[in-house]
Amino acid sequence: MNSTWDKEVDVVVVGSGAGGLLTALIAAKNRAEVLIIEKAAQWGGTSATSGGGIWIPGSDQARAAGFEDNLDDAFTYVRALSAPNVPDANIRAYVDNAASMLRWVTANTPVVYTAQPYPDYHAENPGGSVTGFRTHLPEMFDGTLLGEDLKTQRFPSPAASLFGYLNWTFAETYLLLYRSKGWATGLARIMAKYWLDWPLRFTSRKDRRLTLGNALTGGLRVALNEVGVPLWLSTPMQDLVRENGRVVGLEVLRDGRPYRIRARKGVVLAAGGFDKNQAMRDANAPLYRNALYSGGVTSNTGDSIRAGQAAGAATLNMQSAWAAPVFHVPGEDRGRLVTIERALPGCIMVNQKGQRYLNEAASYHIVGQQMARRHAEFGDASPSWMVFDARYRQQFPMGPLLPLVPDWLQSAGVRQIVKKGRTIAELAAAMKVDPATLAVTINRFNAGAAQGMDEDFHRGEAAYDRMYGDYRHQPNPCLRPLTDAPFYAMPIYPGDIGTNGGLLTNARAQVVDDHGQPIAGLYAVGNNAASSMGESYPGAGVTIGPAMTFAYIAARDLTGANT
């Protein structure tokens, strides 16, 4: 080995989210010597904290469920929603390779995905799917198979787990949400299994029942362990090393000292966006400025993007993010994504004047964008307020505010942000909102909701809206008048679940320069790369779906394999 290098491998992957793990696995299966480095002390990245969903047109799983997709329709759908500056070839590469990627994952890992009857976010658009089956969710995975690696896997998001440590599936979420028959027994069984998991309970808070993003990353890690791919934690990348215009390796910190790693075939950047880098947000993403409200993990600070830029890489759509409305509980290091709650009957969202200004039940990306744009123009939407009545309070969660649990038993952070009033006027005073305006807003909403109508913003008319509504409530599962005192409000902010502008890549996931020429030896996937979606969010899973698909493309390209 050359004395200037501390270690030599074929491929170095920076980041341990789903895109990074899959890149490493496919490269290793194609006889490459691979190393994964991870900046944080935990592995799994934002993928581990997510729902684990992937948007895959034309999959075998969808076909088995009776849905015959058309890839040209999928391309038409995404192309119309994506930004004009995103190349057709990148979108086509995603659409054409997604099903093949999932087929490979199914054949080579213990990860099992099922297609869901989950409509596209803009299903009414040309090429959209109202019936769904492009979104796929991972089945539960046994964390015992990870051995000691279970303890260093990143925990799920507080918004996607119970009490921040109990994992659950979407089916279990709905069972508890509607308190369907058997819900109490089911919850007791889940909790008992967790607390009686000895001796793990004495050494870790991790739940062996891996679901959602933990199931995806857990299954990929097991497959990597089987082929002997090492994953170094607490190893931040410092810089890329170039020779004669080619990326040949990188400098990292290993055990606190500089360490040089040569990559004979290439370096793949898969370390996420710049979610938690306030300076990069200020410079690039003025609509989504507050890093605290991002749901991304704290280690996502854009290091790989800056290193790519220093190596001559072009960037694209750096102003963009996977926008989302979020709650923020004091003391927590990230925002909590608000997905289901906004569509349930008995709540509305108002700005600081006490006025509605959007369809609360639209996709979280659309709502997050509208909130951010409203605040940029009028300065009255960050925070906005989720307003709900006592009936909603007892029936459903509102983010971290749990139903059936008395107000005084909620956590200190939650008690700090919840406002309450015996009347609308009293609530308005607590919110510091004009009581007359709030009363007019609620009265107008109530009059329409009583008829199942929202003439102002058409809540509950789209297929996506209705999916998260209460199916037991008719004629509109998303609408019910707010009439039951006391009344409640919680501040809600325009945030995101990660930035999605980044290094410009081509259809082979190669990072390119300002002239569109590939930088030899350098690839980027996931939120390190500018998303093929532009500033849009076509459906559930268009974050991890492209990350894994371009991981599949990158790994095959850099190893010269067709497997």
Domains of the chain: 231-323+498-540+547-559 (3.50.50.60), 327-496 (3.90.700.10)
Closest by CA to 266, choosing from 517, 512, 554, is 554
Q: How far apart are CA 484 and CA 148, in angstroms?
A: 50
In this prediction the pTM is: 0.94
- Mind listing the pLDDT tens digit for each residue in 305-334? 999 999 999 999 999 999 999 999 999 999
Strands 419-421 and 315-316: unpaired
Task: Please say if the pLDDT value at position 368 is more than 80.
Answer: yes
Predicted local confidence at residue 563, as pLDDT: 53
Average pLDDT value over all residues in the chain: 95
Whole-number percent of the chain with pLDDT over 90 = 88
Q: How far apart are CA 121 and CA 119, in angstroms?
A: 6
Task: Please say if the pLDDT value at position 337 is more than 70.
Answer: yes
Burial class (CB in 10 A: 0-12, 13-18, 19+), 563: exposed
Structure-block tokens of residue 450: 């009583």
The CA–CA distances, whole Å, from 3 to 8, 232, 465 equal 11, 22, 60
Task: Please say if the pLDDT value at position 61 is more than 50.
Answer: yes
Q: Where are the alpha helices (DSSP H) in 335-363?
A: none
Count CA atoms within 13 Å of residue 341 on its CB side: 30
List phi, psi (to 5°) of 419: -105, 150
- Mind listing the pLDDT tens digit for each residue in 181-209? 888 888 888 888 888 888 888 888 899 99
Phi/psi region, residue 132 (left: phi>0; alpha: psi -120 to 50; beta: rest), is: left
Name every residue whose Cβ is closer than 8 Å to that of residue 517 and which is 6 or more positions away in sequence: none
Task: Please say if the pLDDT value at position 78 is more than 50.
Answer: yes
Burial class (CB in 10 A: 0-12, 13-18, 19+), 5: middle
Predicted local confidence at residue 160, as pLDDT: 74
Predicted local confidence at residue 202, as pLDDT: 85
SS3 307: helix
Predicted local confidence at residue 6, as pLDDT: 97
28-47: average pLDDT = 97
Task: Please say if the pLDDT value at position 3 is more than 80.
Answer: no
Task: Please say if the pLDDT value at position 39 is more than 70.
Answer: yes
Task: Please say if the pLDDT value at position 119 is more than 90.
Answer: yes
3-state percent helix, strand, coil for the chain, nearest multiple of 5: 35, 20, 40
Predicted local confidence at residue 115, as pLDDT: 97
